[in-house]
């Protein structure tokens, strides 16, 4: 159907179609994939399957929330995957003091990386992609320095967090959902959220309106780092192991994909939390669907690449105001 509309569309209408797709395409995609799976995939409609999918997507969602803020401020944070690795190393090192202390240390570590990112961007004026690239290299190295090999985490609390559930919903998923609500609330209802959107939309206007541009940018990257650290903590709990070599690899890619597929333009000024969550879910479902139908994982990567390009293309048309 959508295909027909596209083909028949006059050039003037194409813009409108793309706009609609950017806005709601991600939900449409999720709905379509659900329908296709319900119709053609055996055992798709089981609580167990949904639980598996949700648990897998949860860390991506958490990281993508921070990424959405960074992209909304007309930036990007490539260091999130490395922050997850740093977080898991710190958790392993401080687990002896109990999970809470470990969590706090991990979060402080993530915040510190974010602070460096934010300072480079806000005070020195380094392009976000460059600043966070440096930290992406550095933070993973630091993680490996702190914890050179995989280490098992045997802590009952962590085990509960990783595999326990409440009313049939895994804790990890509940936490991700709660964080999504919090971030959505922050974006919509706080001074910080409004200022962030204004800065991402028009930096000169925000400056002339006297907004604390530097402070907001720094907070954005700190939040981004904290969320990545939390995701790293949860992933550690779920795996019952700390593996800084592989944890968070390509996470920046998944997070950016979720945000972009969710309809957030790379040009800043918009933060779509619902879209971002749906974007993460869409990619997860796409992967699951292809795998369930015996298509090799390689194809999911190729499909994902195509989806990213399409999403950026749709957002591009709208970017020109």
The site for other proteins (CB under 8 A) is made up of 76, 116, 120, 124-127, 129-131, 133-145, 148, 189-195, 197-198, 201-202, 204-212, 249, 253, 256, 260, 266, 269-270, 296-302, 304-306, 308-309, 312-313, 316, 321
CB of 311 to other proteins, least distance (A): 9
Closest to 146 (Cα-Cα) out of 92, 84, 96 = 92
- Are the beta carbons of 55 and 176 closer than 8 angstroms? no
Would you say 187 or 237 has its CB closer to other proteins?
187
Q: For residue 165, what is the enclosing H or E element?
A: strand 165-166
Angle, CA 166 vertex, CA 247 and CA 277 arms, to 5°:
50
8 A C-beta contact, residue 109 and residue 93: no
Residue listed under structure tokens 């402080």: 108
- Closest to other proteins by CB, 104 or 126: 126
Give the containing element (helix H, strand E) for 161: helix 156-163
- Kindly state the smallest distance separating residue 194's Cβ from other proteins, in Å: 6
Phi, psi of 301 (to 5 degrees): -65, -45
**Nearer residue to other proteins within complex by CB, 54 or 187:** 187
Nearer to other proteins, 120 or 234 (CB): 120
**Whole-number Å distance between alpha carbons of 276 and 57:** 12
Q: Is the dihedral of CA 263, 183, 244, 152 positive or negative?
A: negative
What are 7's two structure tokens? 């083909």
Spatial separation of the C-alpha atoms in residues 241 and 249, rounded to whole Å: 16
**What is the number of residues in the chain?**
321
Distance CA 86, CA 233 (A): 10
Query: 81: which 2 tokens?
Result: 């995957």
Please, what is the minimum distance in Å from the beta carbon of residue 104 to other proteins? 22
Minimum distance from CB of 99 to other proteins (Å)? 25
Nearer to other proteins, 128 or 170 (CB): 128
In angstroms, give the least distance from the CB of 166 to other proteins: 28
Q: How far is the CB of 152 from other proteins (least distance, A)?
A: 19
Nearer CB in complex with other proteins: 143/153: 143
How many Cβ atoms are within 10 Å of 29's Cβ, its own excluded? 22
When the beta carbons of 61 and 76 are compared against other proteins, the nearer one is: 76
Least distance (Å) from other proteins to the CB of residue 35? 25
């Amino acid at each position: 159907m959508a295909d027909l509309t596209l083909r028949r569309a006059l050039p003037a209408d194409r813009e409108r179609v793309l706009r609609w797709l950017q806005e709601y395409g991600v939900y449409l995609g999720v709905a379509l994939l659900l329908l296709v799976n319900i119709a053609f995939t055996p055992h798709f409609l089981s609580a167990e399957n949904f639980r598996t999918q949700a648990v897998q997507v949860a860390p991506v969602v958490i990281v993508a929330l921070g990424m959405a803020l960074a992209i909304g401020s007309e930036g990007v944070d490539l260091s999130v995957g490395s922050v997850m690795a740093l977080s898991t190393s710190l958790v392993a090192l401080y687990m002896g003091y109990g999970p809470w202390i470990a969590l706090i240390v991990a979060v402080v570590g993530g915040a510190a990386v974010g602070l460096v990112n934010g300072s480079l961007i806000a005070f020195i004026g380094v392009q976000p992609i460059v600043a966070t690239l440096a930290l992406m290299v550095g933070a993973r190295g630091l993680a490996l320095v702190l914890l050179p090999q995989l280490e098992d985490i045997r802590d009952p609390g962590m085990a509960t967090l990783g595999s326990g559930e409440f009313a049939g919903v895994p804790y990890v998923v509940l936490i991700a959902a709660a964080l999504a609500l919090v971030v959505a609330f922050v974006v919509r209802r706080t001074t910080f959220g409004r200022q962030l959107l204004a800065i991402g939309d028009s930096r000169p206007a925000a400056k002339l309106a006297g907004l604390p541009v530097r402070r907001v940018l720094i907070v954005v990257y700190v939040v981004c780092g904290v969320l990545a650290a939390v995701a790293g903590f949860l992933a550690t709990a779920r795996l019952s192991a700390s593996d800084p070599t592989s944890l968070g690899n390509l996470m920046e890619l998944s997070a950016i994909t979720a945000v972009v597929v969710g309809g957030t333009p790379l040009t800043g000024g918009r933060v779509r939390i619902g879209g971002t969550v749906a974007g993460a879910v869409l990619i997860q479902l796409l992967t699951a669907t292809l795998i369930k139908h015996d298509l090799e994982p390689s194809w999911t990567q190729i499909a994902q690449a195509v989806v990213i390009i399409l999403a950026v293309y749709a957002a591009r048309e709208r970017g020109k105001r």
